[in-house]
Structure formats: C-alpha cells, structure tokens
Amino acid sequence: MTRSKPKYTIALTGLNAIDNPGSGIAVIRGLREAQAFDVKIVGLCYENLEPGIYMRDLVDKVYQIPYPSMGCETLLSRIEYIHHRAQIDVIIPNFDAELYSFIRLAPRLRQMGIQSLLPTVKQFDARLKGNLNQFGAQYGISVPKSLAVFNIAELEGSLAELDYPIMIKGKFYEAFVAYSLEQARAYYYKLTAKWGTPIILQQYIKGQEYNITALGDGKGRLLGAVPMRKTYITETGKAWAGISIDDPQLLEMAQSIVEKTAWGGGLELELIKEDETNRTYLIEINPRFPAWIYLAVGCGQNHPEALVRTAMGEELESFSDYTVGKMFIRYSYDMICDLADFQKIAIEGEL
Amino acid sequence: MKLKNNIAIAENGFIFNAARGDSFTTNPIGIFILQGLKNNWDKARLCQEILVKYEIDEATCEKDLYDFLKMLKHYDLIEE
Amino acid sequence: MAKQRYERPVLKPLNGNITNKFGAQAGFIPHTHIDGLAVHALTAKYGSPLFVLSERTIRETYRQAYTAFSTRYPKVQFAWSYKTNYMNAVCNVFHQEGAWAEVVSSFEYEKALHNGVSGDKIIFNGPDKTEKDHRLAIQNNSLIHIDHLDELYSLVALADELKVRPRVAIRVNMDTGVQPMWDRFGFNYETGQAWDAINKILLADKLDLVGLHCHIGTFMLASQAYRIATQKMADLALQIRKQHQHQLQYIDMGGGFASKNTLKGAYLNGADLAPSFADYAEQICTALFNAGFELGELPLLILETGRALVDDAGYLLGSVLANKRLSDGRRATILDFGVNLLFTSFWYEHTISPAQACSQYAEDIVLYGPLCMNIDVIRESVKLPPLNRGDQVVVHRVGAYNMTQWMQFIALRPRIVMIDLAGESHLIRDAEDLDYLMQLERVPEHLKKFDL
C-alpha cells in the first residue's frame, strides 16, 4: 500500500516563459513530477503578460507582487496577504534581482511558516559579478580578470587593463562583447541606464562554454549537479537546445564551489574551457535555478523536488548519477487566453 | 463627441477597445464620465453631473474633464 | 446625499510591459500625520512649503547608533557633523544626547561655540582653516585635524609663537576597496604620506599628536570598507606606539554611513540596502578590538556620522500648485518647492507621499518644482495617485544636507519647525523675508533713482 503523500503549497516567481525565459515554469514542471509530495502552485508575477499566469494546468493561483525596487517591507506585506489566503509552505524565488529581498526576508517568512532554501547575503554578494576576482582567489577557482566600473570617467582606464574583445556586463543581467572603446562606451550607457552601476568589464576568453545546474543544502553538501552544453543559442545568447554531458572536471568545480561556500539552494555555474590551455574558467554564478532546470529532472535529478524537501527539513541523500546525452529543445507555443483573465490580473492583481 | 462603438467598460475600470485591441484602466470618476458619454451627454452635461456628484469647483472640474476627453481622443476611444 | 471626494479622472493604457505594481488593492498610504501632528494643521499654521524635524526620531536614531557602538566597544564618542544640519536646535538635541561638535569651517566653529560647546569638545576638520581660525582653535584647546602639509607647518609655527602645544590629529586617506577613493583630503596611507606627516609632527615635538582621523567616503553601502579602514588606522597607531613610544588617545573613523534614501541609478530600495548601525559597528569595533592594542591602551573611538543620524528625522511638506500634460502625454505636477529647497533630489529618488486620503489609481507623473528653470525636477518619474491643486505632499528623509545646502534662489526660504517629544511644534527657523534678504545690500547713491 502506498503511503499518502503530503501536499505542499509552493509559491514561486519567474513565470515569464518568454524567449529569454525565467525558470519558474521549468521548476513547476519538476515539482509537479515530484515523487515525495503533491503540490499546489502559487505563481507570483510582476507583469500582466507573464505567460505562466495563463498556464492554468501548471499554476493553480497567481498573485502579482511588487517590484524589488519598492522595498522589502512592501514585498513582505504583499506576501503576508497571499500567505493569509494560500498558506504557503515553501517559496522559491527565481530572479536574480529579487533574491536579495527574499534572502533578507527569509527569517521573517520562516516565522510565518514559509520555508525556503537560499544562499546567505554573504554568499550572494561574494558571487556578484564585481566580486568574481576575489571569489576566485578565495576559493582557488580560475576566473577571467574582471573589473567593476562605477562611472564613465573610470571606463577608459579600466578598459586599458584588458585586451579586446571585452565582455561588458550589467549588474544583474545582460552582457555585450565590445571590440572598441566606442562600443564599450555605448554598452556602458545602455547597461547603467537599465540596471544601475557598477557594470563589469571581463576579459573575453575564447573557448567552449558549459553550464552546470547544481543544488546545495546550505551546509556544505552538494545535493546534485548536471552539466550541460548549449547546442543551439538564440540571437540573444540564450540556450534553445542543450545536451547533458559527462565531464568530471566540471562536476568537481560544482562540488568545490558548493562545499567551500556552503551554498544554499539552486545555482547555475557558467564556465568556459579555454581552447588554448584546456583550463576551465568560472564566468558567472547565477544564484538560482537556470531556465533549463527541467533537463536535470529529465536526467534523473529532480532538483526542485530536492530543494523543497530540504527546505521542509528533510535530510536527503545526494544524487549520485544522471543520464548523459539527454537533450532539451525549447519551443514556443501560442496559448489561447481569455481577455477576462487579463482583465482580472491587471485590475485585481490576482487570478 | 461620442464614445466609439465596440468600447467595453467593466465595472472595475477595465476598458477594452475591441476595434483596436487596446485595453486601459480608469478610476471611478473615469467610469462615470465614460458611462455619461455612452448616454450621449455633452461636455456641459458631463461637467454638471460631476459637480452634482463630487466635491469640486467648476474650473477644476472643467479643466480635468477636458484633459480626460483629450486623452480619450488620443487613444481613439471617442470621436468628435 | 453627501458629495464624494473628488479625484481627477485618469486613463492608463494596459499594453506590453505593464508595471502595475500590484493591481488595485494595495498601494498608497497617505502620510497625514508626523509625530501625532496633522500635516494640514502644520502647513495651516506655518505655511507651505515647510520643513519639519522630529526630535523623537533624532533622539531615537542617535541612541540606536550609540548603543550599536557602545555595546561593542568600551570607549565611544560621537561628534555631531555640523555641515549635515546646523540648525542650532538640531545641534543642541545632539549635544544634549552627548555628542561633541565636528566642524569644517570657521562659521561652523563659531556656531558650535555659540551653542555652548566647550572648545575642547570641538573637532575642527577640513582643508579650509585660516591662521585666525587656527589661533582661535588653539586658544580653545580644540582638536585640530590636519588636512595638508601647509597646515602642519603653519601650526608648528603658531605653536612656537604662542608657546603652547596644540592638540592635533592628522587626516588619513586610504584604499578601502571602494570607488571612488577619497584621496583629496588628508595624507595617503598606502604611499607613506601619512607616516611621513606623523614623523614630522613627532620629531618637531611642537604639536601634541592625540589622534588619527579618516573619512573614507559618503553614503557607504559596503560596511566592510570600514573594517579595512579601521585596520589601517589601528596599524598606524600601533606603529606610532612602537617606533615613537607615543600613545594616541583616539581614532576618529569619521562618517559616511548611508541613510535609507534611494540613490538615483540604484535598482533596489535604499531602505533595504543601507547597512544598519550594528553592521557598521560590527566592522569597526571588531577590527579595533583585534588590532593588537594592549587592553589598557584601547583608543577612544570617535564617530562623526551625520546623514544616517538625521536624514530620517526630516520631512518637507509642500503643496500642489498645478497639474499639466506634457507634449509627450505624460502628466506633470508642479509643487511649491523645488531643488532650491530639496537639494538632495539631485541624487536621491525621494519617497513622496500624499498627505490626504487618496485612491489607489496611480499614474506615472513628473514632479516639478516652482522655479523658472528646466533643472527644477523633484522626481523624473514617480507613481502617485492623482493630486488636485492645493493637495499636500510629504517628502521623506530630508533631514540631512537640505537645511544647509538649500539655495536662496528666486524664492525665499521657508520656516523650519521641530516637533518635541510631547508632540508640540516649535519654530526653529523663521521664514526669510525681503528685509532679511536686503539688509546686507547697499545701493550706491547715484543708482538710487530712476525714471521709467
């Protein structure tokens, strides 16, 4: 006889399953396939046209939440309102820009009975693009030389310390490759206008890119990791297809980072293996599940499920294996939606 | 001055222009004016009805009403 | 039937990226009262615009800060940074709480003396000190923080002449990993300038080197920079102890703590980003404790934080003069205060609340000041409920710098009131009038008459 499974209410963000997708929908698919529990999904959205809002088979209830720039207190009062109606068990934020607020609120959410598995502010800050050099030095990990630039006056001097082409990255999102000072200057203005300062200059490394999605238990243990190579990249640099690969060197990197930082929650490592030297460089740590997290589920490691069980206090065995050679291929799909749903989310902020 | 056909006004302030696919929100006084337009009230009548219902002087009422009508025109919700 | 409260009709398109903060059900909380007094009553009594300071918030903030440091370190002294807000009433609240005075000009120095601060509790900072200022400061036994070598030499000469040993400290600048580095004030640590200056003072033996001072920047969101700065300061103090057998009395870590305002260009809200006093205290006190001082020789820790102590306590109340629509369709609201009074709007995105009941139908508006100048913009874009002419607004967190950097340009400066602990309002600076403004002017005889 099967034991009856618990049913958890899980709230999450990242319902923007667009051409540059958030990971929310992929995480939900993992949760819906969880073996250990059943779920009720509460989607949290910022805008009215996030596709996940209208995916009624995946998302049970949707609430709008305020942008991070409105401040933690505003966000907390909104979550209190939602919690009062939905009794959330676990919350999973899926955007970089909102994480800081959720990390700060985590203790207060826990008091309300909402669990989470998140990095600490210290871990979160340490992996900020501007601190990558220090991060590499501290944990003995190779990183490309990078410099944070706070104002236009510093830009030229900092560019001179690197060789073109140079990656120019926004504080939270977006990156461009610049081949000249003029280009760099244009990207600087573009990125600061959108995300504020600093912007990050990074030495461009020629080589093959790899990604790893990993999960840490917050106490120094790696619960699972799946490396992937993108096999098709869109014009905006997003993976449209990818394949799980077998590379112990990459897995060691993930193991080492999660152990040394005692990372809590999901994370994605962006790595480059330099053609010339075969050396693996860490380019970036994204402090949440990637949009392709469902590939890990498809390879036998249900990270979203493991995150929820860990957040709920279970001690889990680490995943020891995954299927190599599984592919994901993204596709777009036109949903047919009712204006009434749009009207409801736009006017009332919930659906 | 007339509200165009195919303009749906919901009680919660949601406005949908079926001819163009645009949607808007408005506040309660906005709904009040739109419903007035539906009843073919002219500017003077609209102003008069607002003055009856709301605590406001005539000059402000007229100024705000004209601005609102301009916006309705701008978004192609009314015709002269 | 009673008439309904009027609000102007708004129409907001719902296309593409709709940043409808959270639908219609939550949002603007009107800020109708400050420390129990109605905003509308305050402006009725004192006029609009009006600066309001909360004595309660000043004292509570000061005590928070003091407790954060004094529970982590045994010897702590705050000095009130006059330039942040030198209204006498404000300074005296801080002095009553136990803060010394920290000044950066002879005008501020005299203000501190006038307020009754004894000379030995005034710290004289800054690059601008004349020989006359030095004489006065020496005579009053004040703490003179030396900014450059010219000042050092001039003090040595004066000490010789006056046959006294002025009490001095040197200002040190350094790399704390934070950009931009403030290297224009004081002597640099990394290049050895600071150590040279220290040697000059101790070898000349004319000045009493009692402390070290630094001030690493302004609006410092990275509290760990203070740990690095403290380590470097302690390192200098210990070197002085070792090589010159000279024990310093204090280390002055300056100020620069961020307030909860949101800086322009910042993505996150300032209230979430600003470190707490406890965060700063943890960095500074831990570094000082672990630096290696003998227990009996721990230096006094002086702090000169200004902004973080007074920003929250200040409000600016104002009224709506007019509404208009710009050529690109945006709504603009013109207020009766501008950048002349709210200087900080050049770098903050100030929180602004309506001061009366309002609806939740927000629209994006531009907030302009009343000056006949294009740069007079209070907020480039802010979501507010529709405001009617005559409605009032409350600008939050304006206690720091506005009442010292405000400009008498085109208009006269308004009143400032302080609300005491009992909820009574007191006028602490009257409105300027034409006589006040013209009392310093002189018109030459031949320009006194004209025919038009």
The pLDDT tens digits of the residues spanning A196-205 come to 778 889 888 8
Query: For A339, which residue in chain B has the nearest alpha carbon?
Result: B16
Asked: is B2-79 a CATH 1.10.10 domain? The reply is yes
Position B53 scores a pLDDT of 93
Relative to beta strand A264-274, strand A175-178 is unpaired
Cβ proximity of B55 and C5 under 8 Å: yes
Range in A8-12, A184-188, C277-281 with the lowest mean pLDDT = A184-188
For residue A290, is it within any domain? no
- How do residues C232-282 score in pLDDT, each as one tens digit? 999 999 999 999 999 999 999 999 999 999 888 777 788 888 899 999 999
- From residue C309, give the alpha-carbon distance in Å to each of C58, C214, C215: 7, 19, 16
Distance (Å) from the C-alpha of residue A122 to the closest C-alpha of chain C?
Answer: 11
CATH 2.40.37.10 residue window(s) in chain C: 26-52+312-434
- Distance CA(A110)–CA(A133), nearest Å, equals 34
Tell me the β-bridge partners of A39.
A8
- From residue C13, give the alpha-carbon distance in Å to each of A76, A261, B78, C17, C364: 28, 46, 15, 10, 11
Q: Is residue A332 over pLDDT 60?
A: yes
Q: Is residue C334 over pLDDT 60?
A: yes
Q: Is residue A302 over pLDDT 90?
A: yes
List chain B residues with CB under 8 Å of C359: 27-28
- Distance CA(C107)–CA(C118), nearest Å, equals 16
Residues 6+ away with beta carbon under 8 Å from C116: C95
Range in C3-17, C183-197, C428-442 with the lowest mean pLDDT = C3-17
Interchain proximity C11–B60, CB inside 8 Å: no
Position C18 scores a pLDDT of 41
Lookup: tokens for A69: 């720039």
Nearest partner of A44 among A57, A28, A30, A32, judged by Cα: A28
Cβ proximity of C256 and C214 under 8 Å: no
Interchain proximity B14–A346, CB inside 8 Å: yes
List chain C residues with CB under 8 Å of A65: 22
Interface of C with B in 20-59 (CB under 8 A): 20, 24
Range in A317-321, B6-10, C143-147 with the lowest mean pLDDT = B6-10
* Bond into A107 cis (ω within 30): no
Q: Is residue C200 over pLDDT 50?
A: yes
Relative to beta strand B22-26, strand B14-17 is antiparallel
Position A108 scores a pLDDT of 95
Range in A134-138, C69-73, C91-95 with the lowest mean pLDDT = A134-138
Cβ proximity of A5 and A38 under 8 Å: yes
Give the angle subtended at the CA of C98 by the CAs of C95 and C100, to the nearest 5°.
65
In CATH, which superfamily holds the domain spanning C26-52+312-434?
Answer: Lyase, Ornithine Decarboxylase; Chain A, domain 1 (2.40.37.10)
Interchain proximity B25–C359, CB inside 8 Å: no
* DSSP three-state, residue A41: strand
CATH 3.20.20.10 residue window(s) in chain C: 55-310
Nearest partner of A349 among B14, B56, C177, judged by Cα: B14
For residue A99, is it within any domain? yes
* DSSP three-state, residue A339: helix
Please give the residue range of the domain that contains residue A190.
Answer: 145-203
| Residue predicted with more confidence, A139 or A321 | A321
Position C243 scores a pLDDT of 94
Q: What is the mean pLDDT of residues C182-194?
A: 89
Q: Which CATH class is domain C55-310?
A: alpha beta
- From residue C63, give the alpha-carbon distance in Å to each of A310, C52, C69, C93, C439: 41, 20, 10, 12, 41
What is the rounded (10 degree) CA torsion for A341, A342, A345, A350? Answer: 20
Question: Are residues A160 and A95 part of one domain?
Answer: no
Residue C161, Cβ neighbours under 10 Å: how many?
Answer: 9
Q: Is residue A163 over pLDDT 80?
A: yes
**Continuous H helices in chain A:** 24-32, 72-86, 96-112, 121-126, 132-139, 152-160, 181-195, 248-261, 293-298, 303-311, 339-348
Position C19 scores a pLDDT of 40
Position A318 scores a pLDDT of 95
ipTM: 0.90
For residue A194, is it within any domain? yes
- Distance CA(C305)–CA(C218), nearest Å, equals 10
At residue C327, what is the residue type? S
Helices A96-112, A72-86: axis angle to 10 degrees equals 50
Interface test mutation site (partner A, options B6, B7, B23, B26, max chain A beta carbons within 10 A): B23
Distance (Å) from the C-alpha of residue C15 to the closest C-alpha of chain B?
Answer: 7
Lookup: tokens for B52: 């009856």
Lookup: tokens for A43: 């989607």
Q: What is the mean pLDDT of residues B49-66?
A: 92
Q: Which of A188, A203, A218 is the last residue of a domain?
A: A203
- Distance CA(A223)–CA(A220), nearest Å, equals 9
Interchain proximity C269–A47, CB inside 8 Å: no
Run of H or E residues at B26 = strand B22-26
Run of H or E residues at A349 = none
Interchain proximity B27–C7, CB inside 8 Å: yes
Length of chain B in residues, anyone?
A: 80
| Residue predicted with more confidence, C331 or C19 | C331
Residues 6+ away with beta carbon under 8 Å from A109: A76, A79, A91, A102, A115, A116
Position C21 scores a pLDDT of 38
Interface of A with B in 330-349 (CB under 8 A): 339, 342-343, 346-348
In percent, the amount of chain C with pLDDT more than 90 equals 77
Phi, psi of C319 (to 5 degrees): -130, 155
Q: Is C208 exposed, middle or buried (0-12, 13-18, 19+ CB in 10 A)?
A: middle
- How do residues C56-69 score in pLDDT, each as one tens digit? 999 999 999 999 99
| Residue predicted with more confidence, A217 or A234 | A217
What is the band of C25 on the pLDDT scale with cuts at 50, 70, 90?
A: very low
Interchain proximity A69–C269, CB inside 8 Å: yes
Q: Mean pLDDT score of chain C, rounded to an integer?
A: 92
Fill in the DSSP letter of residue A227: E
Q: Is residue C91 over pLDDT 60?
A: yes
Interchain proximity C10–B27, CB inside 8 Å: yes
Which residue's entry shows tokens 């049913």? Answer: A7
- Distance CA(C417)–CA(C34), nearest Å, equals 12
Residues 6+ away with beta carbon under 8 Å from C222: C177, C178
Nearest partner of C223 among C140, C300, C119, C308, judged by Cα: C308
- Distance CA(C164)–CA(C156), nearest Å, equals 10
| Residue predicted with more confidence, A278 or C168 | C168
Position B6 scores a pLDDT of 86
Residues 6+ away with beta carbon under 8 Å from C401: C83, C84, C85, C307, C343, C344
Q: What is the mean pLDDT of residues C24-32?
A: 63
Q: Mean pLDDT score of chain A, rounded to an integer?
A: 90
Position C170 scores a pLDDT of 95
Position C26 scores a pLDDT of 39
Position B45 scores a pLDDT of 94
Give the angle subtended at the CA of A338 by the CAs of A332 and A341, to the nearest 5°.
100
Relative to beta strand B78-79, strand B2-3 is antiparallel
- How do residues C428-452 score in pLDDT, each as one tens digit? 999 999 999 999 999 999 999 999 9
Cβ proximity of A240 and A330 under 8 Å: yes
Q: Is residue C284 over pLDDT 60?
A: yes
Lookup: tokens for C100: 């010394």
| Residue predicted with more confidence, C39 or A138 | C39
Instruction: For residue A182, give the CATH number of its domain.
Output: 3.30.1490.20
Q: What is the mean pLDDT of residues A179-186?
A: 90
Q: Is residue A237 over pLDDT 80?
A: no
Lookup: tokens for C203: 């070898």
Position C15 scores a pLDDT of 60
In percent, the amount of chain A with pLDDT more than 70 equals 99
- From residue C433, give the alpha-carbon distance in Å to each of A213, C44, C338, C416, C439: 68, 19, 18, 14, 10
Enumerate helices (H) and strands (E) in chain A, giving the number of each. Answer: 11, 14
- Distance CA(A37)–CA(A25), nearest Å, equals 18
Interface of C with B in 368-387 (CB under 8 A): 386
Position A130 scores a pLDDT of 66
Interface test mutation site (partner B, options C1, C3, C5, C6, max chain B beta carbons within 10 A): C6
List chain C residues with CB under 8 Å of B74: 329
When CB atoms are compared, the residue of C21, C24, C267 closest to A347 is C24
What is the band of C307 on the pLDDT scale with cuts at 50, 70, 90?
A: very high
Position C28 scores a pLDDT of 66
Chains within contact range of chain B (3+ C-beta pairs < 8 Å): A, C
Range in A174-178, A333-337, C298-302 with the lowest mean pLDDT = A174-178
For residue A282, is it within any domain? no
Which residue's entry shows tokens 């000044």? Answer: C103
Q: What is the mean pLDDT of residues C321-337?
A: 90
Lookup: tokens for C119: 């000379």
Q: What is the mean pLDDT of residues C281-291?
A: 95
* DSSP three-state, residue C387: coil
Interchain proximity C7–B12, CB inside 8 Å: no
In percent, the amount of chain A with pLDDT more than 90 equals 54
Cβ proximity of C136 and C143 under 8 Å: no
Position C271 scores a pLDDT of 84
Interchain proximity A343–B13, CB inside 8 Å: no
In percent, the amount of chain C with pLDDT more than 70 equals 96
| Residue predicted with more confidence, C208 or A96 | C208
